[in-house]
Structure 1
Amino acid sequence: MEAQLQVKVISNEIVKPSCPTPPERRTRKLSFLDESFPAIHMPLLLVYTGKKEFTKPPLYDSPIITSLKTSLSETLTQFYPLARRLENEYTVSCNDQGIPFIVTSVDGQLNDYLNSPRKLDYLGSKFLPPLDILSLGELPITTVVPLAFQVNLFECGGVVIGSFGIHKLVDAISMLNFLKYWTAHASGRYSSLVQPDFDTIIRVFPPLSDNARVRISGGSGSSDDATGATGLSQHLNLPIKVVAKSFKFNNVDIKKLKVEGTSETVPNPTSFAVVVGFVWKHVIKAILSNDNDDNTSDDDPQAAIPTALTFGANLRSRTRPPLSMQSMGNIVACLHARLDYEHGNFSIYLN
C-alpha cells in the first residue's frame, strides 16, 4: 500500500480573520499558566468517511471547501489570538496574519489506511500540515505559526482533517471549542453557541511580573531573543525511545470494562479510567512477561520495574467557583501515577 499512497497538494493558502482585530485587543498578555507552556504543537486528526461529494472536481473550488475556508475565517475572528503571532514568551501580537489552510487529494481508500498496521505512520506523516510551515526549531518565536489545517480528500469520499495547535495558547478543551465554532459556522448554527472567553484565565491566573520571572528563571526575564529552541526540537532530543500504538474499543467493550472496574471505592468508573487502566494493566503484564523470559527473579533487586502514567486534567470544573467550559487557554494540570513493582509487591503513588 505504501507505493500507492499519493498525497497531492491542491491548494495552499493563508486564511485570515473575516474582521480585523479591534485596536484594544492588538496586544494580549498571556496568563501565568500559558507562560509556563513551551511553544510546541499538538497534532489532531479528524476522520470522516463516505462523503462522495467531497471528491467532485475541481476539489479546490468545490462549495464544501469554499464553505470550510469562509467559516474558518469567521471563526478566527472570534478566536483572534490563534490567527496571530507571539511577540515573545509572554505576549501575543494580534496582527491578523492568518493561518495555513492546505487541501490535498489522496489516492486510495480511506479504510485501507485506517485498517493498516502502519496507520500511525501514514496518518502522522502524510495527513498533518508539514512541520516546516509552523516555523519550529531554532527560529525566533515571533515566526511560529499558532494553528494550521490540512484537509485531505480521498477517492472514496472520505476526509481527514489534520491540524497542529500551539500548546502555549490552547489546551485540548480550547481546541475543542474552536472546532465546535468552526462546525457551527460551516453549518449555519453559529447563533446557538456561547462566545469564547479569553479574559477569565487572565483574571484567575494573572501574568507574572517581570521581577517574578527573573526569580523563577534566574535570568533577565527578557524574551526578546526567545527562540523555538524551547519547543519541539528540544523535546525530540530526549534520550528515550517512544513507541506509539493504536487500539480500538467499541461501546460493548467499554461497558464490559466498566462492569469489571466497578468496586466500592469506584462505584461509577468513567470510560477514560477503565480504558486507561486496562491498557496500563496489560503494559505491566507485558513487562513482567519479558522479565520472566530473561530469567529475572522476583527476589532479585534488579526486578524493580517502575511504570508511570501521565495525563492532563481539565481544571475548569475543579476550580472554586468552577470556570466556564468556554474559557480559553491552558487551564489544565498534568497528573502522574507511578507503579513500582519490586520483590513481588506493587506500590502506587499519585501526585
Structure 2
Amino acid sequence: MPRSDNSCPFVVEKSEVVLVKPSKPTPDVTLSLSTIDNDPNNEVILDILCVFSPNPYVRDHTNYHPASFIQLALSNALVYYYPLAGKLHRRTSDQTLQLDCTQGDGVPLIKATASCTLSSLNYLESGNHLEATYQLVPSHDTLKGCNLGYRPLALQITKFTCGGMTIGSVHSHTVCDGIGMAQFSQAILELAAGRAQPTVIPVWDRHMITSNQISTLCKLGNDKNNPKLVDVEKDCSSPDTPTEDMVREILNITSEDITKLKNIIIEDENLTNEKEKNMKITTVEVLAAYVWRARCRAMKLNPDTITDLVISVSIRSSIEPPLPEGYYGNAFTHASVALTAKELSKTPISRLVRLIKDAKRAALDNGYVCEQLREMENTMKLKLASKEIHGGVFMMLTDWRHLGLDQDVWGGLVNIIPLVPLTLPFLCVLLPASKAVPGKSGGVRVLTTLPRDAMAKFKEEIDAVLHP
C-alpha cells in the first residue's frame, strides 16, 4: 500500500518506535476470540486518523509534544485493555485465532512532527491528499517484529506547527470493530484528561458470540425456518471492477440535504398508504438507497447484472442476553439486498428504503445471526481462504457517525478519517461532519471509491437529487 505520493503537501519526521507497556502488572493469559473475530474477512488492518484542533499551550511552548501525555494515558489504559498489547496468531490445528498476553508486552508508539498547519490541510476535512495522510499513521510493518504472531495495535502521535495533532492508529479488525476501537480510544482520552479510570470498563467475554452459544440461548437449533443468508459472491454476477484507475472522495451531505431526501421519500406515493404512515426513516437507510443507486448508474452496469448492498448492523443489544457494556469485540451482522442493475435504477426510492429496512430487521433476527456464525465456523473448519470481491456491483456500507469519541481533549476532536485503501472500492463509510467547518453540524460525509470516470457521474447523480 503506498504511503505517500509525489504531490505530498507536507513532510513528517518520525522518531524511533517506543514500546508502551501497561503501567501496572497484567495477567499472563491466552485468550480465545469470537466467531465473528475469527472470520478471515475480518483479519485485516485498519488505518484510522483522529484530528485534533490546536492547543493554546503548545502555541506558547513549541518544544512540548503531545506524545508525552498520550504515552502516559496509553500506559494506564493498557492496564484495562492489556489484550491490545498481546500477540495474535492462527492455530494450525483448527484455523482459529488466539491472543497471547504476557508480561512485557506493549503497544508500539511513534512520536512525529509535521511541517505544516492543520488549517493548511483544511483539517483533512475534504479527503484531499488522502494518500499523503498515510504518513500520519504507523506502517503496517510496525505490527510485526515479534516471534509469535503479530501485534494488534500501533499508534502515532503527530504534532503540527499550529499546535494541533493527529492520533493515527493501525489495528487488527480481528480484535475489535469500530465501536470497540472507539471505546478504547475514548478511554485513552479520558485518562489523558485526568480521570482516574475509564468511564466504561472493558469486558472480553468473546465466548458470547459463537453459534452454539446463541443457538442454545435462543433455542434455535437447526430450524429450517430461520432467515437465510444472502450469498454475495454468488449473487454478484460480475464481481470485477472494470478499471484499476480508482479514486476516493468524501462528499459532504448537509443536514438540510438529508431532510430534503427524507421528505422526498415520505411524499412518495408508495409510503403514503395507511400501513406505512408512521414509518421512521433513518439517515442510514436514506443515504444507503441514494448512494447505492447513484453508484450503480455511474458504473453503467449491464441491466441484468445483480448488485448487492450490504450494511453492517450492530447486534450488541439485539441478541439474548445482550452483550455487556464494555464489550469491545466484533459485534455486527450484515443486512443484504440484491437487485439487478435495471431494478435498482428503476425502482422507486421509497421501495428501496423499505427493502433496506426489511433487510436490517431480518439481520437482527437471532436465527439469522446464528446461521451467519455457523457459516463462518464451517469456513474455518474447511480451511477456506477468504475471497475478495472488488466490484462496483457490490457495495458495503458502514456507519461511523456514532462511535462515541467525544472527549474534549487537547484542542478538541474535529475529524475522524478511516484510510480506506483503493483495493477496497466496494466499501462506503458514513462519517460525522467535521467540527472544523462551521455550519456543518448534523451533516454526513460519505467516503466512497469509484473508477475515475464513474466518480464524476456519481456526483452528478447525487447533485441531481439534491438540486433538481
Q: Specify the TM-score bucket, using the shorter chain as the normaliser.
A: 0.7 to 0.9
What is the identity percentage for the equivalent residue pairs of Structure 1 and Structure 2?
Answer: 26
Shift of 1:187: 1.1
SS at match of 1:143: coil
Whether contact under 8 Å (2:55, 2:164) holds in the other structure is yes
For the aligned residues, what is the CA RMSD? 3.2
Give me the whole-angstrom Cα distance separating, in 2, the residues matched to 1:207 and 1:85: 26
Whether contact under 8 Å (1:54, 1:157) holds in the other structure is yes
Shift of 1:285: 3.4
Q: Would you say 1:259 and 2:263 are equivalent positions?
A: yes
Whether contact under 8 Å (1:86, 1:141) holds in the other structure is no
Match of 1:130 among 139, 156, 172: 139
Shift of 1:22: 2.5
Higher mean C-alpha displacement, 156-165 vs 107-116? 107-116
Whether contact under 8 Å (1:196, 1:326) holds in the other structure is yes
1:118-157 alignment, distance < 5 Å? 118-123=128-133, 125-135=134-144, 142-157=148-163
2:21 — aligned with what? 16
Shift of 1:36: 2.4
Q: Would you say 1:34 and 2:37 are equivalent positions?
A: yes
2:62 — aligned with what? 57
Shift of 1:243: 4.3
Whether contact under 8 Å (1:79, 1:178) holds in the other structure is yes
Match of 2:112 among 93, 104, 116: 104
Amino acid at match of 1:35: N
2:12 — aligned with what? 7
SS at match of 2:294: helix
SS at match of 2:142: helix
2:280 — aligned with what? 268
Give me the whole-angstrom Cα distance separating, in 1, the residues matched to 2:264 and 2:317: 27
Give me the whole-angstrom Cα distance separating, in 2, the residues matched to 1:321 and 1:43: 32
1:91 — aligned with what? 98
Amino acid at match of 1:132: D
- Judged with a 3 Å threshold, the aligned counterparts in structure 2 of structure 1 residues 117 and 188 are, in CA distance, closer, same or farther, namely closer
The runs of 5 or more residues in structure 1 that have no matched partner are 209-237, 292-301
- Judged with a 3 Å threshold, the aligned counterparts in structure 2 of structure 1 residues 192 and 148 are, in CA distance, closer, same or farther, namely closer
Q: TM-score, normalised by structure 1?
A: 0.74
Q: Would you say 1:334 and 2:331 are equivalent positions?
A: no
User: Where has structure 1 moved over 6 Å in runs of 4 or more?
Assistant: none
Shift of 1:146: 0.4
2:77 — aligned with what? 75
Aligned length: 300
- Judged with a 3 Å threshold, the aligned counterparts in structure 2 of structure 1 residues 265 and 181 are, in CA distance, closer, same or farther, namely farther
SS at match of 1:303: coil
Give me the whole-angstrom Cα distance separating, in 2, the residues matched to 1:10 and 1:52: 24
Whether contact under 8 Å (2:88, 2:150) holds in the other structure is yes
1:169-248 alignment, distance < 5 Å? 169-191=175-197, 193-199=199-205, 201-205=206-210, 240=241, 241=244, 243-248=247-252
The runs of 5 or more residues in structure 2 that have no matched partner are 1-5, 91-95, 214-238, 364-468
Give me the whole-angstrom Cα distance separating, in 1, the residues matched to 2:342 and 2:240: 25
Q: Would you say 1:286 and 2:298 are equivalent positions?
A: yes
Shift of 1:206: 7.8
> Can you list the C-alpha shifts for 1:304-347, whole angstroms capped at 9, x where unaligned?
24333223221111102322342121122233333312387559
SS at match of 2:252: coil
SS at match of 1:324: coil
Give me the whole-angstrom Cα distance separating, in 2, the residues matched to 1:266 and 1:18: 53
> Can you list the C-alpha shifts for 1:212-268, whole angstroms capped at 9, x where unaligned?
xxxxxxxxxxxxxxxxxxxxxxxxxx9644643212233333333333344437732
SS at match of 1:142: coil
- Judged with a 3 Å threshold, the aligned counterparts in structure 2 of structure 1 residues 119 and 325 are, in CA distance, closer, same or farther, namely farther
Whether contact under 8 Å (2:152, 2:171) holds in the other structure is yes
> Can you list the C-alpha shifts for 1:9-66, whole angstroms capped at 9, x where unaligned?
145311111122224xx2212223322245321221111223243463324xx4x432
- Judged with a 3 Å threshold, the aligned counterparts in structure 2 of structure 1 residues 265 and 144 are, in CA distance, closer, same or farther, namely farther
- Judged with a 3 Å threshold, the aligned counterparts in structure 2 of structure 1 residues 129 and 115 are, in CA distance, closer, same or farther, namely same
1:216 — aligned with what? none
Give me the whole-angstrom Cα distance separating, in 2, the residues matched to 1:7 and 1:192: 32
Whether contact under 8 Å (1:169, 1:330) holds in the other structure is yes
SS at match of 1:19: coil
SS at match of 2:111: strand
2:165 — aligned with what? 159
Whether contact under 8 Å (2:155, 2:170) holds in the other structure is yes
